[in-house]
Amino acid sequence: MSDLDRRSLLRAGAAAVTVAPLLTFAPAEAGQTRTKVFKGAFRNADTADWHYLPFRVPRGVRKIAVRYSYHPTDTGAGFSVNVVDIGIFDPSGTDLGNAKGFRGWSGGARREFFLTRTRATPGYLAGPITPGTWHIALGPYLIVPPGTPYKVEVTLHFGEPGPDFVPVPAPQEVPGTGPGWYRGDLHLHTVHSDGRRTQPQLQAAALEAGLDLMGSSEHNTCSATRTWGRHVAPGFLVVNGEEVTTRTGHWLALGLPPGTWIDWRYRADDGLLAQFTEQVHQLGGVAVAAHPKAAGGGNGWAYGYDDGVDAIEVWNGPWGSDDQATVATWHALLVNGTYLPAIGNSDAHNDTQTVGLAQTVYHLDTLSTAAVLDAIRGGHAWIAESSAVDLTFTASAGESTAGCGDHLGAAPDATATVKLDVTGVPGCVAQLRGPTSALGGVLADETGTITLQVDVPVADAAFVRAEVRRTPSAVDPLGNLTALPMVALTNPVFLGA
């Protein structure tokens, strides 16, 4: 505890941080190593979010290796408390938003990592081992008494550096593709964060799920986006991104240039979300609130929806009560005049979690990152539990027809014909929903096909959206179906201008 007592409390425009005393390494001959150790403990729930352990690197170092230990407490409820996350910054600095200093993050997924000029542990960035002051970043998480001690061992390996790391990013467009509907899962994890699949294994699972595209969205690191080009299959698209895992909510920064890192070291109370969503916008990307109603720790969304959020992940993994709560919030925003398009993803981390459950089907001009981002912004998409589900959803009035995310432009005194066609949904029920109630409903036939058409006075419904849910028995198609699991969900069609 004495090490913590000697630390100085700082404030860096975000959550409080502390800094430990500097450790200095003396130079050594090539082939030699030097090791120094930081020790301390996190005991109380009010410990600062970020603790930096500085160490001075002399010239002639070819490799930095870090090993650490702590004692998490298993709650028995599927998560642990007294967790200590870890990452590293180089001499360019640890300032909030300083991407130049960021050299990697593994959260609590690893107990050791290394960096060289040529190679690095997944989650970390290979590159020059620059002389100067480096910082180990510790992120104590869910600390409760009695807390946990920690030990961080830093080993420097001296010698000649290897060749420069050469990034191989994935192409951002699939040549020869044209307009159509394309299936994707943009929230996925590999060994570059806390996933268990390698990049080739994850891509294989995505292809098996019938997907045309997937997202690289590792927690708080950009390392995978620098190497996806080594693995991507012909005709398949990988969209670069990051899951920005703040202590009070997670969000997806999608469509980033390869190697781009977005900072996560702030809380809702810091008022900084808009700064970083704007950074994503300036880079051409979109920001998506991830699993807003998820339980546990910082998984739930403590931010508002007016700080540059472009869309909401309303369906995350197998359908559950948290997804239903998110859809209810999303619908309430729609009713109040705030349209944030809906997407769905699997958030799969390992081979027990199904890639493509859920998946979003996007209408794209071409299979490209730019077109995917446009479809997200416009809501030109619908969500399904698998590629077995196919769906067409339109509204028409006179000569005009509109689909997901579109405005039909019908006159206030007009009547719109709203039509839903679905296949691959045996044992399911569909509803067309307006702002206040179900406007129509029908059960699937014995082949798993649904055809539902309703004439809707434009004055009675500013928008209409569709839901398909699985039912174990006959139900009232116009009744309250919120207890049933979702099978497909569309973005709305707006009937007016």
Average pLDDT on 85-111 reads 97
Residue 221 inside a domain? The answer is yes
Residues 446 and 302 in one domain: no
Residues 231 and 113 in one domain: no
With a CB cutoff of 8 Å and minimum separation 6, the contacts of 461 are: 434, 435, 439, 495
Residue 250 to residue 291: CA distance in whole angstroms: 8
Q: With contact defined as beta carbons under 8 Å apart, do 126 and 221 qualify?
A: no
Predicted pLDDT of residue 215: 98
Residue 282 inside a domain? The answer is yes
Please name which of 30, 103, 87 lies closest in space to residue 60, comparing C-alpha atoms.
30
Confidence class for position 191, pLDDT limits 50, 70, 90:
very high
Residues 248 and 127 in one domain: no
Residues 383 and 402 in one domain: no
Q: In what order do the strands lie in the sheet with 112-116?
A: 33-42, 148-158, 61-70, 112-116
Predicted pLDDT of residue 298: 80
Q: Backbone phi, then psi, for 100, in 5-degree steps?
A: -65, -35
Residue at a domain's end among 387, 418, 449: 387
Tell me: the pLDDT tens digits for 470-495? 999 999 999 999 999 999 999 999 99
Predicted pLDDT of residue 196: 98
Question: Is it the case that residue 1 has pLDDT exceeding 50?
Answer: no
Residues 414 and 351 in one domain: no
Residue 166 inside a domain? The answer is no
Residue at a domain's end among 352, 387, 422: 387
How crowded is the C-beta side of 234, counted as CA atoms within 13 Å?
Answer: 1
Average pLDDT on 369-389 reads 98
Confidence class for position 2, pLDDT limits 50, 70, 90:
very low
Average pLDDT on 70-97 reads 94
Question: Is it the case that residue 10 has pLDDT exceeding 50?
Answer: no
Residues 350 and 399 in one domain: no
Residue at a domain's end among 323, 356, 387: 387
Predicted pLDDT of residue 12: 39
Cα angle vertex 152, ends 149, 156, to 5°?
Answer: 170
Q: What is the pTM of this model?
A: 0.96
Tell me: the pLDDT tens digits for 128-137? 999 999 999 9
Q: Backbone phi, then psi, for 446, in 5-degree steps?
A: -65, -15
Q: What's the CATH code of the domain at 114? A: 2.60.120.290
Residue 170 inside a domain? The answer is no
Beta-strand ranges (E) seen in 320-444 are 342-345, 359-364, 381-384, 390-397, 400-402, 415-423, 428-433, 438-443
Look at 5-9, 116-120, 198-202, 350-354 and tell me which has the smallest mean pLDDT: 5-9
Please name which of 77, 232, 234, 55 lies closest in space to residue 153, comparing C-alpha atoms.
55
Residues 352 and 413 in one domain: no
Residues 352 and 417 in one domain: no
Q: With contact defined as beta carbons under 8 Å apart, do 349 and 189 qualify?
A: yes
Residues 74 and 128 in one domain: yes
Cα–Cα distances (Å) from 354 to 74, 92, 362, in that order, read 25, 40, 20
Residues 210 and 222 in one domain: yes
Residue 477 to residue 471: CA distance in whole angstroms: 10
Residue 165 inside a domain? The answer is no
Predicted pLDDT of residue 4: 30
Q: Domain limits at 443?
A: 391-494
Residue 486 to residue 326: CA distance in whole angstroms: 13
Q: What's the CATH code of the domain at 281? A: 3.20.20.140
Residue 228 inside a domain? The answer is yes
Residue 52 to residue 21: CA distance in whole angstroms: 9
Residue 91 to residue 21: CA distance in whole angstroms: 16
How crowded is the C-beta side of 190, counted as CA atoms within 13 Å?
Answer: 28
Residue 89 to residue 103: CA distance in whole angstroms: 5
* Bond into 163 cis (ω within 30): no
Residue 172 inside a domain? The answer is no
Residue 214 to residue 254: CA distance in whole angstroms: 11
Q: Which residues pair with 451 in a beta bridge?
A: 421
Cα–Cα distances (Å) from 470 to 229, 431, 483, 485, 488, in that order, read 39, 12, 10, 6, 10
Alpha-helix residue ranges (DSSP H) falling in 153-291: 199-208, 273-282
Q: What's the CATH code of the domain at 483? A: 2.60.40
Q: Please provide the DSSP assignment of 420-484 as one string.
A: EEEES-TTEEEEEE-SSSEEEEEE--TTS-EEEEEEEEGGG-SEEEEEEEE-SS---TTS--TTS
Q: With contact defined as beta carbons under 8 Å apart, do 439 and 476 qualify?
A: no
Total domain count for the chain? 3
| Secondary structure of residue 3 in the 3-state scheme | helix
Please name which of 451, 448, 414 lies closest in space to residue 432, comparing C-alpha atoms.
451
Q: What percent of the chain has pLDDT over 70?
A: 97
Residues 480 and 404 in one domain: yes
Q: Pairing state of beta strands 8-10 and 17-19?
A: antiparallel
Mean pLDDT of all residues belonging to the chain? 95
Residue 167 inside a domain? The answer is no
φ/ψ region of 220 (left if φ > 0, alpha if ψ in -120 to 50, else beta) reads left
Tell me: the pLDDT tens digits for 231-278? 999 999 999 999 999 999 999 999 999 999 999 999 999 999 999 999
Residues 116 and 150 in one domain: yes
Predicted pLDDT of residue 16: 64
